[in-house]
Amino acid sequence: MPEGDSVHQAARRLHTALAGQAVTRSDLRVPKLATVDLTGRTVLDVTPRGKHLLTRFEGGLTLHSHLRMDGSWRVYAPGERWSGGPGHQIRAIIGTAERTAVGYRLPVLELLRTADEHKVVGHLGPDLLGPDWDSEQALRNLLAAPERALGEALLDQRNLAGIGNIYKSELCFLIGATPWLPIGELPADKASRL
Protein backbone atom coordinates (compact mmCIF):
# COMPACT_ATOMS: atom_id res chain seq x y z
CA MET A 1 0.00 0.00 0.00
CA PRO A 2 1.68 3.28 -1.05
CA GLU A 3 2.22 5.77 1.72
CA GLY A 4 1.22 9.41 1.36
CA ASP A 5 4.75 10.52 0.53
CA SER A 6 4.82 8.14 -2.47
CA VAL A 7 1.61 9.69 -3.74
CA HIS A 8 3.01 13.20 -3.23
CA GLN A 9 6.12 12.22 -5.20
CA ALA A 10 3.97 10.78 -7.99
CA ALA A 11 1.91 13.98 -8.06
CA ARG A 12 5.06 16.08 -8.30
CA ARG A 13 6.38 13.97 -11.22
CA LEU A 14 3.03 14.14 -13.02
CA HIS A 15 2.66 17.87 -12.39
CA THR A 16 6.17 18.57 -13.71
CA ALA A 17 5.52 16.47 -16.81
CA LEU A 18 1.99 17.60 -17.67
CA ALA A 19 0.97 20.92 -16.10
CA GLY A 20 0.51 23.80 -18.49
CA GLN A 21 0.49 21.56 -21.56
CA ALA A 22 -2.27 20.54 -23.92
CA VAL A 23 -3.24 16.88 -24.03
CA THR A 24 -2.34 15.28 -27.37
CA ARG A 25 -3.28 11.72 -26.41
CA SER A 26 -6.03 10.55 -24.10
CA ASP A 27 -6.91 6.91 -23.48
CA LEU A 28 -8.87 5.97 -20.35
CA ARG A 29 -9.19 2.19 -20.28
CA VAL A 30 -12.05 1.62 -17.90
CA PRO A 31 -15.54 0.91 -19.25
CA LYS A 32 -17.18 3.98 -17.72
CA LEU A 33 -14.60 6.30 -19.32
CA ALA A 34 -14.01 4.46 -22.60
CA THR A 35 -15.55 7.23 -24.72
CA VAL A 36 -14.02 10.17 -22.83
CA ASP A 37 -11.52 12.20 -24.84
CA LEU A 38 -9.44 14.82 -23.05
CA THR A 39 -7.41 15.66 -26.16
CA GLY A 40 -6.96 19.41 -26.58
CA ARG A 41 -7.55 20.25 -22.91
CA THR A 42 -4.72 21.81 -20.94
CA VAL A 43 -3.58 20.08 -17.77
CA LEU A 44 -3.82 22.71 -15.04
CA ASP A 45 -2.19 20.80 -12.20
CA VAL A 46 -1.80 17.47 -10.46
CA THR A 47 -2.53 17.61 -6.75
CA PRO A 48 -2.23 14.92 -4.09
CA ARG A 49 -4.77 14.66 -1.30
CA GLY A 50 -3.86 11.92 1.13
CA LYS A 51 -3.43 8.91 -1.13
CA HIS A 52 -5.61 10.35 -3.90
CA LEU A 53 -4.32 12.02 -7.08
CA LEU A 54 -6.36 14.79 -8.66
CA THR A 55 -5.35 15.70 -12.23
CA ARG A 56 -7.18 18.90 -13.14
CA PHE A 57 -7.94 19.93 -16.71
CA GLU A 58 -9.23 23.15 -18.19
CA GLY A 59 -12.96 23.18 -18.52
CA GLY A 60 -13.52 22.18 -14.90
CA LEU A 61 -12.71 18.46 -15.14
CA THR A 62 -10.65 16.35 -12.72
CA LEU A 63 -9.31 12.85 -13.27
CA HIS A 64 -9.34 11.19 -9.84
CA SER A 65 -7.08 8.19 -9.29
CA HIS A 66 -6.08 6.14 -6.28
CA LEU A 67 -3.18 3.67 -6.28
CA ARG A 68 -4.50 1.36 -3.52
CA MET A 69 -2.10 -1.60 -3.18
CA ASP A 70 -0.17 -1.73 -6.44
CA GLY A 71 -1.25 1.02 -8.81
CA SER A 72 1.35 3.39 -10.24
CA TRP A 73 1.81 6.31 -12.60
CA ARG A 74 4.90 6.41 -14.83
CA VAL A 75 6.12 9.28 -17.00
CA TYR A 76 7.86 8.65 -20.33
CA ALA A 77 9.63 10.79 -22.91
CA PRO A 78 8.58 10.47 -26.57
CA GLY A 79 9.90 7.20 -27.98
CA GLU A 80 10.85 5.81 -24.56
CA ARG A 81 9.81 2.20 -23.95
CA TRP A 82 6.99 1.88 -21.42
CA SER A 83 8.16 -0.38 -18.62
CA GLY A 84 5.53 -0.21 -15.87
CA GLY A 85 3.92 -3.56 -16.64
CA PRO A 86 2.16 -5.46 -19.39
CA GLY A 87 -0.11 -3.51 -21.71
CA HIS A 88 -3.27 -5.11 -20.35
CA GLN A 89 -2.56 -3.45 -16.97
CA ILE A 90 -2.63 0.07 -18.41
CA ARG A 91 -5.71 1.98 -17.25
CA ALA A 92 -4.87 5.54 -18.33
CA ILE A 93 -2.70 7.33 -20.86
CA ILE A 94 -2.41 11.12 -20.79
CA GLY A 95 0.07 12.40 -23.34
CA THR A 96 1.40 15.82 -24.27
CA ALA A 97 3.92 16.83 -26.91
CA GLU A 98 6.74 16.42 -24.37
CA ARG A 99 5.72 13.58 -22.04
CA THR A 100 3.29 10.72 -21.63
CA ALA A 101 1.88 9.68 -18.25
CA VAL A 102 0.78 6.05 -18.05
CA GLY A 103 -1.32 4.72 -15.17
CA TYR A 104 -0.84 1.02 -14.42
CA ARG A 105 -3.15 -1.17 -12.31
CA LEU A 106 -5.23 1.81 -11.14
CA PRO A 107 -8.16 0.36 -9.17
CA VAL A 108 -9.83 3.78 -8.92
CA LEU A 109 -10.08 5.98 -11.99
CA GLU A 110 -12.95 8.38 -12.47
CA LEU A 111 -13.65 11.68 -14.16
CA LEU A 112 -15.60 14.30 -12.25
CA ARG A 113 -16.23 18.00 -12.24
CA THR A 114 -13.49 19.84 -10.37
CA ALA A 115 -16.24 21.49 -8.31
CA ASP A 116 -17.21 17.98 -7.11
CA GLU A 117 -13.77 16.90 -5.84
CA HIS A 118 -15.10 17.13 -2.29
CA LYS A 119 -17.24 14.08 -3.05
CA VAL A 120 -14.14 11.89 -3.32
CA VAL A 121 -11.72 13.57 -0.89
CA GLY A 122 -13.91 15.66 1.41
CA HIS A 123 -14.07 12.90 4.01
CA LEU A 124 -10.30 12.87 4.54
CA GLY A 125 -8.64 14.17 7.66
CA PRO A 126 -5.68 16.56 7.59
CA ASP A 127 -3.09 15.54 4.98
CA LEU A 128 0.28 14.78 6.60
CA LEU A 129 2.12 16.46 3.73
CA GLY A 130 -0.54 18.90 2.62
CA PRO A 131 -0.90 22.61 3.21
CA ASP A 132 -3.86 21.91 5.51
CA TRP A 133 -1.85 19.78 7.98
CA ASP A 134 -3.16 20.36 11.49
CA SER A 135 -1.55 18.05 14.05
CA GLU A 136 -3.97 19.07 16.80
CA GLN A 137 -7.00 18.24 14.64
CA ALA A 138 -5.43 14.93 13.62
CA LEU A 139 -4.88 14.01 17.28
CA ARG A 140 -8.46 14.99 18.15
CA ASN A 141 -9.68 12.81 15.29
CA LEU A 142 -7.58 9.87 16.47
CA LEU A 143 -8.80 10.15 20.07
CA ALA A 144 -12.49 10.57 19.14
CA ALA A 145 -13.06 6.79 19.38
CA PRO A 146 -11.01 5.80 22.47
CA GLU A 147 -11.91 2.10 22.23
CA ARG A 148 -10.47 1.80 18.73
CA ALA A 149 -7.13 0.05 18.23
CA LEU A 150 -4.23 2.46 17.67
CA GLY A 151 -3.18 0.82 14.39
CA GLU A 152 -6.71 0.87 13.03
CA ALA A 153 -7.16 4.53 14.00
CA LEU A 154 -3.89 5.48 12.28
CA LEU A 155 -4.96 3.78 9.05
CA ASP A 156 -8.36 5.48 9.00
CA GLN A 157 -7.88 8.23 6.43
CA ARG A 158 -10.73 10.21 7.99
CA ASN A 159 -8.49 10.82 11.01
CA LEU A 160 -5.39 11.85 9.10
CA ALA A 161 -4.67 11.26 5.44
CA GLY A 162 -1.56 9.61 4.06
CA ILE A 163 -0.62 6.84 6.50
CA GLY A 164 -0.29 3.27 5.24
CA ASN A 165 0.80 0.04 6.89
CA ILE A 166 4.51 0.84 6.96
CA TYR A 167 4.12 4.24 8.61
CA LYS A 168 1.51 2.84 11.00
CA SER A 169 3.94 0.14 12.12
CA GLU A 170 6.86 2.55 12.38
CA LEU A 171 4.86 5.06 14.41
CA CYS A 172 3.74 2.37 16.85
CA PHE A 173 7.34 1.17 17.17
CA LEU A 174 8.72 4.67 17.71
CA ILE A 175 6.33 5.46 20.54
CA GLY A 176 6.65 1.96 22.02
CA ALA A 177 2.99 0.97 21.70
CA THR A 178 1.35 -2.09 20.21
CA PRO A 179 -1.01 -1.36 17.31
CA TRP A 180 -3.74 -3.31 19.15
CA LEU A 181 -3.75 -0.97 22.16
CA PRO A 182 -7.05 0.92 22.43
CA ILE A 183 -6.06 4.48 21.56
CA GLY A 184 -7.85 5.82 24.64
CA GLU A 185 -5.37 3.86 26.79
CA LEU A 186 -2.38 5.49 25.13
CA PRO A 187 -0.53 7.62 27.71
CA ALA A 188 -0.72 11.37 26.99
CA ASP A 189 3.04 11.68 26.38
CA LYS A 190 2.90 8.96 23.71
CA ALA A 191 -0.26 10.38 22.15
CA SER A 192 1.40 13.78 21.78
CA ARG A 193 4.40 12.13 20.07
CA LEU A 194 2.15 10.72 17.38
Catalytic residue among 2, 48, 126, 168: 2
Question: How far apart are alpha carbons 64 and 67 in whole angstroms?
Answer: 10
Catalytic residue among 48, 51, 126, 168: 51
Rounded to whole angstroms, the Cα distance separating 55 from 102 reads 13
| CA gap 14, 10 in Å, rounded | 6
Strands annotated E in 6-99: 25-28, 43-49, 52-57, 61-66, 72-76, 90-95
86 belongs to the catalytic site: no
Q: Are 61 and 41 in contact (CB under 8 A)?
A: yes
Q: Is 168 a catalytic residue?
A: no
| DSSP code at position 178 | -
| Residue 98 falls in the annotated catalytic set | no
- CB atoms inside a 10 Å sphere around CB 82: 14
List of residues 6+ apart from 52 with CB closer than 8 A: 7, 64, 65, 66, 120, 121, 124
Out of 3, 48, 126, 168, pick the active-site residue. Answer: 3
Enzyme catalytic residues? 2-3, 51
